[in-house]
Structure 1
């Protein structure tokens, strides 16, 4: 039997059954006339559907599902590190502050036959300020990408989680783990010149985003939503500091923050008023450079434009009221040149069930990195059951998902249009059913729409839905790379 055109033996029977149901689901989701697939005859649809298995490396199965009668294509990569020297990782490309196309990100991993990723997809969610401006017409000087929620790269937190955690996938030792992650960040100083003599430790509110501006969800107690109004149609509109409606959101603000910028940020630190629609970002504040040993080497106010030391970080603070935990005042009091700062980071696995006794910290160790975390929105499947709801995001948009099947293999999946010029996909619930039909037991929805990208050997394979078929820049990417992982300590 030719392995390039058929599934591996141990999965063949299960895969045939899964494919039949999956393809039936796909065809039915394309017809608005089909209100309830359970009441319709699907056998005639199955007869017109087919699966194609392009050749791939040992340990990776690729399948493309399509039919003449359907406007969508589903692409699947099944990754099994037991059958080949295959890694499972993510990358942010050149830096976390600048979005890049998925192909460009994967090219930073390698471009030769010895190091280029085999297959990859776009990753999690972020926002960008590139096109924003305020009521006076001030334009943002350059794009600054901000992770909406959790991001961990090589055991370093690059984006803080929501206060109550965020649906995420942990990649370690070639396997995915689906859970909810929260982060805890802090800074301690050996220097204290303030009148209050015992406040040498403080929470760090976030990583690699603008002080005062929080996209998507609260990250610390005290983060407040931007003002809003309700229009005549009952639609909620967020307002900027001038009372103008702003796009996107939800957004939150905090006038008393410390934000850490890591070397992975990839640019000099942002200046005040970089997000002009959030009043909290107007504060001049202060920033300090911290070298690889933890020593403060420079203090600057107003903040902005500082290079991030290799192996170190820059801390930006806003808020001058020490009594209310003002970040700028804390840095002035505790982070003078020569002070020694100790930065701490935790990423906590909250588990599937909301039970605090089950919470466990991920073993982050930047000296011996093994952990990446990629954020997502909707959980699709947990423990073999579909958990997405039929009412979840019902638009037929392009979708990207990551899952794990019963053998612990990773599934990278995209659903896009078959023909260029179309924007097609499936609702979130149908995406969950597709993952179930493919044999997944756990699955998470990643960024979709124009971000959905399926790359093989450096080449985009899917139809891109943005105008002109242009590849959209994204925050990070998930990929199967060359070189496997050994078992973790204590493994059998």
Structure 2
């Protein structure tokens, strides 16, 4: 029985990460010059109206952020426990500092965030330690005190305010991760947002949906997507891909999203919440096309943003 389970798991992993799923899309991106006066030179916004390899239409926007600029900050925002959710545009309107780019954040239930959120070095909400009886380590993106981007697998033990980083995802989902095992460290980020799965590792597309216990039924489904990644020279990429809009933008699967992130130069990348949550606000204006009825933004508990540093 154990051998059968192992073989099945290996086949699933092979199928989900077959090279055929990660074909380059060769999208044509254009710099949005009209936003040049609204943003510092360290932030560039690109847009594509393209077709995927099978001819399906695609609209997507991404921000390339040079985080070496000392006058910008990458941060998380959270509505707070028990408070009404807000749209990304509402988050933007309430910022005291000038906001440059905002995207939706991690996963959530009707009442709370179920993904990791770290703000100002403090754990705001932990990642859920148990998902349907399993113990997954989930992907997270963070900015260190030194201003460096990181993507890793994380776990929050119940009753512990420390977030732990794992060099590899927990492979035995039936057992709780071991905090003192090899490759496990405390993860001290100034800002962090969790979601998953990890899409790119060491510059190669590899979707860790099975390892992170994320519904594999939607693995190949094309949908609106939001993702974050970073390049070898620490430029952060924030992308929103519109979807579920026939004739305009069908969206992408997770393997297609992973390939796009690699094409944009990412050495690591992470999937954030998608579907009707996917939205991007730039310089105080919604520039993506959400899939909710009428193009309305879905209220969310958390966002990830790039904003002007306050003195």
TM-score, length basis structure 2: 0.74
Matched, 1:397 2:223: yes
For residues 357 and 389 of structure 1, do their structure 2 counterparts lie closer, same or farther at Cα, with a shift above 3 Å needed?
closer
2:197 to 355, 359, 378: 378
- Checking the alignment, whether the CA contact within 8 Å between 2:199 and 2:206 is kept in structure 1 is yes
**What's the CA shift string for 1:183-235, capped at 9, x where partnerless?**
245xxxxxxxxxxxxxxxxxx3xxxxxxxxxxxxxxxxxxxxxxxxxxxxxxx
The yes-or-no answer on 1:172 pairing with 2:138 is: no
CA contact (8 A) 1:403 1:444 kept: yes
Deviations along 1:344-370, one digit per CA (max 9) or x if unpaired, are: 62111223476823222234xxxxxx6
Matched, 1:57 2:43: no
Aligned equivalents of 1:472, 1:84: Cα separation in 2: 32
- Residues 147 and 178 (structure 1 numbering): CA distance in 2 closer, same or farther, change over 3 Å? same
> Are residues 1:460 and 2:286 paired?
yes
Structure 1's 79 and 106: CA in aligned 2 closer, same or farther, altered over 3 A?
same
Alpha-carbon distance, 1:435 to partner = 0.2
Query: Any unmatched runs of 5+ in structure 1?
Result: 1-34, 129-144, 186-203, 205-343, 364-369, 486-492
Change (3 A) 1:104 1:421: farther
2:103 pairs with 1:121: yes
Residue 446 (1) aligns with residue 262 (2): no
User: Is the partner of 1:435 in helix, strand or coil?
Assistant: helix
Query: Structure 2: how far apart are the matches of 1:353 and 1:388?
Result: 12
CA distance in 2, matches of 1:388, 1:166: 12
Q: 1:149 to 1:464 in 2, by over 3 A?
A: closer
Q: What does 1:46-445 correspond to in 2, within 5 Å?
A: 49=28, 51-54=30-33, 55=36, 56-67=39-50, 71-83=57-69, 85-93=71-79, 97-110=83-96, 115-128=97-110, 145-161=111-127, 162=129, 164=135, 165-173=137-145, 174-184=147-157, 204=159, 345-352=161-168, 356-363=181-188, 371-388=190-207, 393-417=219-243, 424-445=250-271
Determine if contact 1:80/1:86 at 8 Å carries over to the other structure.
no
What CA deviation, in whole Å up to 9, does each residue of 1:28-56 have, x standing for no partner?
xxxxxxx9897x9x9xx87xx45233323
Cα distance, 1:84 vs. partner? 5.4
Structure 2 distance, partners of 1:389, 1:349, is 16
- How far does the alpha carbon of each residue in 1:38-88 deviate from its partner, in whole angstroms, 9 at most, with x for none? 7x9x9xx87xx4523332312111111224876211211011122452211
The 2-side partners of 1:444 and 1:389 are apart by 10
Q: What SS does the aligned partner of 1:429 have?
A: helix
Supply the distance in 1 between the matched residues of 2:155 and 2:169 (Cα, whole angstroms). Answer: 14
Change beyond 3 A, Cα 1:151–1:350: same
Hey, what's the Cα distance between the residues in 1 that align with 2:45 and 2:232?
18
The change in CA–CA distance for 1:396 and 1:353 in structure 2 (over 3 A counts) is closer
Q: How many Å apart are 1:428 and its aligned residue?
A: 0.4
- 1:291-313 deviations in whole A, cap 9, x for unaligned? xxxxxxxxxxxxxxxxxxxxxxx
Whether the 8 Å contact between 1:59 and 1:85 is mirrored in structure 2 is: no
Question: Please, which of 276, 295, 309 is the counterpart of residue 469 of structure 1?
Answer: 295
- Could you tell me how far 1:389 is from its partner in structure 2? 6.9
Alpha-carbon distance between aligned partners in 1 of 2:100 and 2:122, rounded to the nearest angstrom: 25
2:198/2:208 contact within 8 Å kept = no
- How many pairs were matched up? 262
Equivalent residues of 2:21, 2:255 under 8 A apart? no
Flag the 1:95–1:171 CA change in 2: closer, same or farther, 3 A: farther
How much has 1:376 moved relative to structure 2? 1.1
1:403 counterpart SS class? strand
Instruction: Tell me which of the two structures has the higher relative contact order, counting C-alpha pairs closer than 8 angstroms and 6 or more residues apart.
Output: 2
SS for the counterpart of 1:99 is coil
Deviations 1:416-445 (A, max 9, x none): 149799662100000000000000000000
C-alpha contact (below 8 Å) 2:139/2:194 kept by paired residues: yes
Structure 2: runs of 5 or more not aligned? 1-19, 171-179, 210-215
* 1:446 Cα offset (Å): 0.2
User: Are 1:72 and 1:424, in contact at CA under 8 Å, matched by a contact in 2?
Assistant: yes
